[in-house]
Chains A and B, each alone.
Chain A
Amino acid sequence: MAMEITQFLLAAQSADANVRNEAEANIRQLQQQNLPGFLLSLSVELANNEKPAESRRLAGIVLKNSLDAKDASMKEVLVQQWMTIDISFKSQIKDLLLRTLGSPVPEARHTSAQVIAKVASIEIPQKQWPELIRSLLNNMTQPESHAAVKQATLETLGYICEEISHEDLVQDEVNAVLTAVVQGMNLAENSVEVRLAATRALYNALDFAQTNFQNEMERNYIMKMVCETAKSKEVEIRQAAFECLVSIASTYYDVLEPYMQTIFELTSNAVKGDEEAVALQAIEFWSSICDEEIELQEFENPESGDSSPHSHFIEKARSSLVPMLLETLLKQEEDQDQDDSIWNISMAGGTCLGLVARTVGNEIVPIVMPFVEANIVKPDWRCREAATYAFGSILEGPTVEKLAPLVQAGLEFLLNAMQDENNHVKDTTAWTLSRIFELLHCPSSGFSVISPENLQRILAVLLESIKDAPNVAEKVCGAIYYLAQGYEDAGPSSSLLTPYLTSIIAELLRTADRTDGGDSKLRSSAYETLNEVVRCSNITETSQIIAELVPAIMGRLSQTLELQIVSSDDREKQGDLQASLCGVLQVIIQKFSSSDDTKSIILQAADQIMLLFLRVFACRSSTVHEEAMLAIGALAYATGPEFAKYMPEFYQYLQMGLQNSEEYQVCTITVGVVGDICRALDDKILPYCDGIMTLLLSDLSSSQLHRSVKPPIFSCFGDIALAIGEHFEKYVPHALQMMQDASKACAHLDVNDEELMDYGNQLRRSIFEAYSGILQGFKNAKAEVMMPYAQHLLQFIELVFRDRQRDESVTKAAVAVMGDLADALGPNTKILFKDCSFCAEFLGECLQSDDEQLKETAGWTQGMIGRVMVS
């Protein structure tokens, strides 16, 4: 077998497709025939220094892929498969892997390090590889150990730390790992490769060092090593060390005080003179400190002052930090505005400056303004651009009172700067204008830098500059976007924009049609800006203008169907364009649905719009267009029961969307649209319910589908039940089974995982929404169908009630469903409520809430239960 596998592995990399395919088939066959033997032979191949590098590399990759997969459910299968393999095979494989760390071939060592980490990620949490850490540490302490072994071992330790949780190791192991890693960073004793591997390993091991960072001596030692390493000769090592500092900034903010002086000097030197990769990390350190302090300020709770201390590092460092950042702004690259993927020192510096402004507020203004004033009129475009960028960056953080006079004084200058000879200056000026409108233009709150007097001038400049180069035009779109947004709900002020609306829309459409943009960025910015202009406009004054937009957009959408599609690139472009246009229609439909007068405009065009959406769907083979789906949801709301006539044709796409488990966002949106249609059609949706419910139930039981789709599905049960009332009876056994299972699963979620807790709250709320919909749907008939489930529901509510981490929205849904139970089932629930001692407590809590809506709901529930109790 050993000989065979080498050949197969080599053949699988042949240039000849036939040879390759045959080899792959052979490899698969070996895998299926005898998996343990196959995996062992791969590790033998990897460990054997006699074998060709190519076969060893592929052996490692196949081995790694037998242990891990990107897809969560696939990964679970692989883990189970590994665990069933006989222990004698597994220990041979593991020995071979560890031995490979000492191979003279660097690639074999590297591959082996990766595979070991994968095995560790399965076995260490299960305590099935207790000797791993010890044997790795042995590699580090044996005097005869080669630098190559140490390098590979440190790499392995780093990967392991990345894979597992620090709870999987006992403190002694953590201490030993950290000691080995930090010693590996020691300049005097180790080679460059070892130090680099050690520094990178430390980056992954930092999360494990909680206890060590609480101990001053250990902390001092680690910090000293990191800071020294940050001054290494080798740029890669310096970069890795600064990455450690960035991670420490957010993980160990509260113990950083004694090291800040040193770190400031390190970062300052790096920003001024080091390679860009290092300088970027140095700036990132300060951005991370800002993140921490902004978060502390946002969640500041004056009453419990003992939580996390705010060290005010930024405030203390501002007078040196800010000038340092301002210097970075002058280091622009020539083409940075043309390419989104560019990230350089001036962009990082400006971003950090913005964070500093948010951290210290008004104090930043007197430090930055002299720089702005000195540079904004200089002949060198870099100076003008940097000055503008600095000004734009500090607009969030300081108070309106502080900024308003500056902005008012500078506005005309900025408007003139839109005619600057330099593209970057115009780009940044337009962006600064958009920031001004975003942050200092809010007529509904009584303040705006835009007055009826200067509005005309501003729009004249914007509508002229939107014709400038694509990158400038895109920033101008942003300025128009926020300018329009400010007038949302602004009462009489919103009329101010009305006279300009026609020309704004015309320019935006012209911009969307430009072909010099290269990619679709400018187009989608133009359309999204158009959406915001429509959404925020004063509907009574503008409905006529917007009504004219409907056929214009429909015409464009219809043209996309004629596009010639040759490549997958063409297909993608068509899809993007359709997305933008469907988005515009969705916004218009939603806007017009708000009043009967304007709704009639949509109703008149509804047939044609729907026909168009159906054609958009039809021009794709297997996937459903999510923006078209969203727009259909809006259309269903507008048309109400009339939507029934579109159902026979539309239903197939609804099905397709519900079956799209790969693009789960599409599935989520489709589930939401089912809800919209339920509300529109009421019981006219009945003929489609069997099909829809089948798909929803199968989605729920699928392990492939992304979990975030499940809460919307439960909510959708409620929507369907509300629409069809008693006819929901036949779905009750299946739906309720799912709801009960999911409610049980809620109890087993890891409370330390914030994301998971958030999901748990969504799930709970959606299950309650399902119950509410079903109970209210059954209220006038067949309510007794729900009687067998009442007990379980109350238990679930109690469980949620006892959960102290529960979200306010879950509380609301829980207390409401209690009322629904009493309301729908009436006197039948008397016994249940009598025995349910937590209800009083729960209602009491809710009735004392500050949330008016919650109080009202609780009051209603109390009334419903009261009614039952006296019946």
Chain B
Amino acid sequence: MADDGLAHHRRDPIKSSVGNGAAQRRRQNAVTVGKERRESLVRAKRLCRVGTSGSDSEVSMDNDMMIDEEQSILETQASAAVEELKSAVAYQGKGAMQKRVSALRELRRILSRSEFPPIEAALKAGAISFLVQCLSFGSADEQKICWEIVKLICSGHVILLGILQLLEAAWCLTNIAAGKQEETKALLPALPLLIAHLGEKSSSPVAEQCAWALGNVAGEGEELRNILLSQGALPPLARMMLPNKGSTVRTAAWALSNLIKGPNPTAATELIRVDGVVDAILRHLKKADEELATEVAWVIVYLSALSNVATGILVKSDVLQLLVERLATSNSLQLLIPVLRSLGNLVADKVIEVLGKCLKSEHRVLKKEAAWVLSNIAAGSVEHKQLIYTSKALALLLRLLSTAPFDIRKEVAYVLGNLCVAPTQGDAKPNLIQEHLVSLIGRGCLPGFIDLVRSADPEAARLGLQFMELVLRGMPNGEGPKLVEREDGIDAMERFQFHENEDLRNMANGLVDKYFGEDYGLDVSGE
């Protein structure tokens, strides 16, 4: 009560001490932290369902329990699901679209189950034609949907249904395309529609799903690739790479790398000429996460492996630098492999240095891939060979040849072998670079190659024999045969005398005959 007259107005002075306000703020801060933790927990619970719900979790649980008799149950279920889809497609009444979405979802779930999805059964039941009809969702249906729009409550819901129908149909096709080759071919009638839904007007999940299906098809072989290219799959897929939407770009890049695999280089050249693609590749390579960068790098691998036009354009861009940066900063094997291959294809002297680093890596696979890249470089021009020859990598290569595990040794042998021969035209015997050969032999590489000759792996053995041929032919002063003999090379070659592999047998026998024939030794003693 205002016993003392008015309550005197008194405001907080501007000059105050820090204590009280600070304690208040600190307590407030502690309370806020609690609220934030509550929110993030609830968020996690909400999203948790999305990640492991429905079919996905069923799949992983069911996988282990799947046994043969269940396979036949699955096939029956697949046929039934296709029947259901058939009637849903035929049905034109109220709620038709919902019916179709449900039927598609069921079929997709069945096709996602187990390692051996019942694709054949679904195809036999005629799944493709119904799926094609579902994919052709368009103007005719929309009229009928109008009525459903009125009744459905949530805005965006009808659009959602339409999207779901396309999405589920494309998903079914994706799973079918992942099957055996003949099964993939069954998709032929669906291809134009899948390509059509790649367009900008489609919602991104649908486009992405279609890209996935097409990628599966393209991966199946040259014939299907050519069909897809002739139907115009490349430009829309290329355009999907342009924006910054992570998952869409990743799927598109993956599908593209399957599509341009060749061996015909036309597709790779076409891709590099699509407006904005080079920029997009550079941008993603620069900024994207490792997963996306991996897929983009694979695109670069095929572009640079197949198309001179593409290689020319790429070399002039920043791509090399970006690849080298990735190489220097990433620890992801998945990413480093295509990066290395791209570098191998786009070779540049700087790269050799970095590859040297990779040769020292702990990762066996990385070592191997680095050696593979070097072998590609070494297979190039004389200048490239000299670059490697004069680099620090050479010492490492020589050491690896005697100490590394077999598969790496083999790649290393390719590098060293390639260093000793000049580029040739046609099938003629390779011209020697004697300087390299003499030096490498001097540094003790011969035993490594002879070891390869002894290996059970025909490819490695061939490599060893080829190198021995170089030595026998190319060492000055006819020193070759002596060196080979000293390292038990004759013994190694004689193992092939009755070898089942005719090629190797002839090669080995030819060398022994030519250099260690009856005249061998006599010749020497005769001097």
Contacts and interface: CB of A to CB of B under 8 A. Distances in A.
Partners in one complex: yes
B153 A351 contact: no
B79 to A, nearest CB: 23
Nearest to A246: B9
Interface string A192-215: 000000001001000000000000
B102 interface: yes
Interface string A715-727: 1001100100000
B105 to A, nearest CB: 8
B482 interface: no
Contacts of B73: none
Nearest to B45: A776
A240 B153 contact: no
A525 B18 contact: yes
A826 B10 CA distance: 58
Interface in A834-871: 834-837, 839-841, 843-844, 847, 860, 862-863, 865-866, 869-871
Given A531-B22, A722-B41, A833-B153, A860 B31 contact: no
A532 B26 CA distance: 9
Interface in A222-260: 240, 243, 246
Given A287-B11, A587-B26, A718 B38 contact: yes
A819 B47 CA distance: 11
A834 B30 contact: no
B18 A481 contact: yes
Interface in B153-168: 153-157, 160-161, 164
Interface string A799-814: 0000000000000000
Nearest to A68: B1
Given A779-B49, A819-B46, A839-B154, A159 B2 contact: yes
Given A354-B14, A772-B42, A865 B6 contact: no
B429 interface: no
A350 B42 contact: no
B46 A590 contact: no
A481 B154 contact: no
Contact of A586 (B14, B30, B46): B30
Contacts of B50: 863
B6 A243 contact: yes
Contacts of B37: 637, 676, 679
Nearest to B5: A200
Interface stretch (A26-34, A292-300, A471-479, A650-658): A471-479
Contact of B46 (A474, A776, A837): A776
Contact of A474 (B1, B17, B41, B153): B17
B38 A715 contact: yes
B34 A676 contact: yes
B22 A834 contact: no
Contact of B18 (A434, A833, A871): A434
Given A521-B17, A672-B31, A866 B153 contact: no
Contacts of A246: 9
Contact of A679 (B2, B17, B41): B41
A393 B98 CA distance: 68
Given A159-B2, A583-B26, A722-B45, A840 B34 contact: no
Contacts of B34: 633, 672, 675-676
Contacts of B155: 840-841, 843-844, 847
B316 interface: no
B101 A837 contact: no
Q: Is the interface of B mostly helix, strand, loop or mixed?
A: helix
A486 interface: no
B151 to A, nearest CB: 8
B14 A837 contact: no
Contact of A284 (B9, B17, B46): B9
Contact of A590 (B14, B30, B101): B30
B23 interface: yes
B15 A347 contact: yes
Contacts of B426: none
A392 B15 contact: yes
B45 A284 contact: no
B156 A862 contact: yes
B396 interface: no
B197 to A, nearest CB: 20
A844 B50 CA distance: 22
A630 interface: yes
A431 interface: yes
A52 B20 CA distance: 48
Contacts of B19: 474, 477, 521, 524-525, 528
Interface string A571-598: 0000000010001001100100000000
B42 A343 contact: no
A629 B19 CA distance: 20
Interface residues of B, number: 47
B37 to A, nearest CB: 6
B46 A823 contact: yes
A520 to B, nearest CB: 9
Contacts of B15: 347, 350-351, 389, 392, 428, 431
Given A162-B2, A478-B18, A525-B17, A869 B157 contact: yes
A114 interface: yes
Interface in B286-301: none
A281 B45 contact: no
Contacts of A779: 45, 49
A240 B4 CA distance: 13
Interface in B137-182: 151-157, 160-161, 164
A287 B260 CA distance: 75
B154 A347 contact: no
B156 A634 contact: no
B94 to A, nearest CB: 13
A431 B20 CA distance: 15
Nearest to B31: A672
A532 B23 CA distance: 10
A238 to B, nearest CB: 13
Contact of A869 (B41, B105, B154): B154
A670 interface: no
A849 to B, nearest CB: 14
B486 interface: no
Given A114-B1, A243-B9, A475-B17, A820 B46 contact: yes
Contacts of B45: 722, 776, 779
B44 to A, nearest CB: 10
B2 A630 contact: no
B27 interface: yes
A86 to B, nearest CB: 27
A217 to B, nearest CB: 28
A866 B23 CA distance: 47
Contacts of A863: 50, 160
A243 B31 CA distance: 39
A327 B513 CA distance: 117
B188 interface: no
30 contacts: A64-B1, A162-B2, A240-B6, A340-B17, A354-B14, A392-B15, A393-B14, A525-B18, A525-B22, A531-B26, A532-B22, A583-B23, A587-B26, A634-B30, A634-B33, A675-B38, A722-B41, A769-B42, A779-B49, A820-B46, A823-B49, A839-B153, A841-B155, A862-B154, A866-B160, A866-B161, A866-B164, A869-B152, A869-B154, A870-B105
Interface of B: 1-3, 5-6, 8-15, 17-20, 22-23, 26-27, 30-31, 33-34, 37-38, 41-42, 45-46, 49-50, 98, 101-102, 105, 151-157, 160-161, 164
Q: Which 5 A-B pairs have the closest CB atoms?
A: A528-B22, A478-B18, A525-B19, A840-B155, A354-B14
Interface of A: 64, 114, 159, 162, 200, 203, 240, 243, 246, 281, 284, 287, 340, 343, 347-348, 350-351, 353-354, 389, 392-393, 428, 431, 434, 474-475, 477-478, 481-482, 521, 524-525, 528-529, 531-532, 579, 583, 586-587, 590, 630, 633-634, 637, 669, 672, 675-676, 679, 715, 718-719, 722, 769, 772-773, 776, 779, 816, 819-820, 823, 833-837, 839-841, 843-844, 847, 860, 862-863, 865-866, 869-871
